[in-house]
Structure 1
């Protein structure tokens, strides 16, 4: 069974964002990760640690359309180029996949994700993709959360967790660290 790991940047009030904001950030404070917080390299060391464990990437349609053309050309993301990628979308056509960014498979449903988790291989990391993460968490398919929580309150934006009436999930803290800029690393395993 493969682990499905959500990794992301989150404000203290639960709003997700990409490091520089940009397309897809549907709130006025987009870009807060790099605009408002002093850069402390060790606060971002989690991203490097994740590379050693990542055997595949998963995205929702909108995050894929944003990340794929940028990360394909980015030296910072070169290690992702040849990794298998999965896009969960009922509407993305095959001819919309970005060429030159390694093998990419479109999964059309949550059931397809559940089947992928049962296959051989290592951890699959979900970057961005808030809507997908909520859907997969509601289906009890996420095994772990890697969160960098930033000391800002935004009041609006995409949240990681849904407000669906569902059974509780218990999380076990695997690792944590606090950094001089106020960022806190939290890694949780889902145990129930």
Structure 2
């Protein structure tokens, strides 16, 4: 049985995943996660994900961003020893962060498809908009765990593709709404 590949992320109402942490990430309208009132239960999904995560997959830029913070972060301590995979055609082993669990560089979409066929549990993609877009279009993502924030961010990066891309059908697994306007949406990709 194939390993489940899950995209998890923060998204705006219009489908943007761009710059949730701040404008330094690239979009002038960034920082929308921190501009939202903090309601602890709205982030419960992140704790639930920890229980089923057996490996992490990143694109190069997200790996470089997260690997500068997560190894020393108490909030992400449970990720430290998990196997990590980085999809990149340019990264080399010398750029990998030591003491952050075993890390393997994958060079192609086919390498990721092959990884899904190995033994093990769910692989979670964090950040990595371009990678998620490519893998979604290739039919490799099995589930989307989204926390949707009440913002519109025109021109932001999306994980769903451009107009005219093939339609994909999703089944709602779980949803919840929170007092701060955040909506939890967990969708399985129907095949």
TM normalised by structure 1 equals 0.95
Residue 156 of structure 1, CA deviation: 2.5
Please give the per-residue CA displacement for 1:80-103, whole angstroms capped at 9, x wherever unaligned. 000000000011011100111010
Residue matched to 2:26: 26
Residue 6 of structure 1, CA deviation: 0.2
Unaligned runs of 5+ in 1: none
Distance 1:15 1:165 in 2: 17
SS of residue matched to 2:101: coil
Residue matched to 1:67: 66
Distance 1:156 1:44 in 2: 26
Please give the per-residue CA displacement for 1:106-145, whole angstroms capped at 9, x wherever unaligned. 0000000000000000000000000000000010000000
1:92-107 to structure 2, matched below 5 A, reads 92-107=91-106
- Work out the number of aligned pairs and report it: 190
Distance 2:49 2:150 in 1: 22
Residue matched to 1:143: 142
Change (3 A) 1:162 1:101: same
Matched, 1:53 2:52: yes
Contact kept? 1:17, 1:128, Cα under 8 Å: no
Over 4 Å off, 4+ runs: none
Distance 1:55 1:123 in 2: 6
1:1-192 to structure 2, matched below 5 A, reads 1-17=2-18, 19-21=20-22, 23=24, 25-35=25-35, 37-163=36-162, 165-192=164-191
Distance 2:15 2:165 in 1: 19
TM normalised by structure 2 equals 0.96
RMSD between aligned alpha carbons? Answer: 1.3
